Amino acid sequence: MDRVLLRWIVLFCLTAMVKGLQVTVPDKKKVAMLFQPTVLRCHFSTSSHQPAVVQWKFKSYCQDRMGESLGMSSTRAQSLSKRNLEWDPYLDCLDSRRTVRVVASKQGSAITLGDFYRGREITIVHDADLHIGKLMWGDSGLYYCIITTPDDLEGKNEDSVELLVLE
């Protein structure tokens, strides 16, 4: 009985020492110019010895962000966000109320672009950074860096950056 208990304690301590998968996006908001290139950075650490699968997803704004950039935000959105400081009317909504699509995926050295992005100069560079060669109007929104490893299921496997494309 003591050996079983000792094994559980050792297993618990070893699990507590391993952080598991950790994904971080250093810039939470990025403003870039129309028709210019940009790189959305993503860093990750993992205890896995298996290659990671990197996926970037795009999620459109819940409401038009351009009005706010030009100083024309709605009074309804302002009053709602004042009541709940954590809630952002442009970013926080169900995926069913916005456009969600895969931008690109990388497994090993193979990179696959999502259907909407085929034909554009988009790639995943370094370990997990998304390089967009020429920004378009529709590129404004949230970008999620999602990392998947087959044997590292603990931790934080995604993080996001907001990209605002201006003229």
In the chain, what are the domains? 19-60+99-165 (2.60.40.10)
d(CA 147, CA 51): 10
d(CA 118, CA 121): 8
Q: Is 21 left (phi over 0), alpha (psi -120 to 50) or beta?
A: beta
The answer on pLDDT for 72 being more than 60 is no
In sequence order, the 6+-apart residues with CB closer than 8 A to the CB of 96 are: none
Indicate the length of the chain as a whole number.
Answer: 167
Q: pLDDT per residue over 123-155, tens digit each?
A: 999 999 999 999 999 999 999 999 999 888 789
d(CA 5, CA 125): 46
In degrees, rounded to 5, the angle at the alpha carbon of residue 96 between the alpha carbons of residues 95 and 97 is 90
Q: pLDDT per residue over 6-61, tens digit each?
A: 454 444 444 434 568 999 999 999 999 999 999 999 999 998 888 999 999 999 99
Report strand pairing: 21-24 vs 155-156: parallel
pTM for the structure as a whole:
0.77
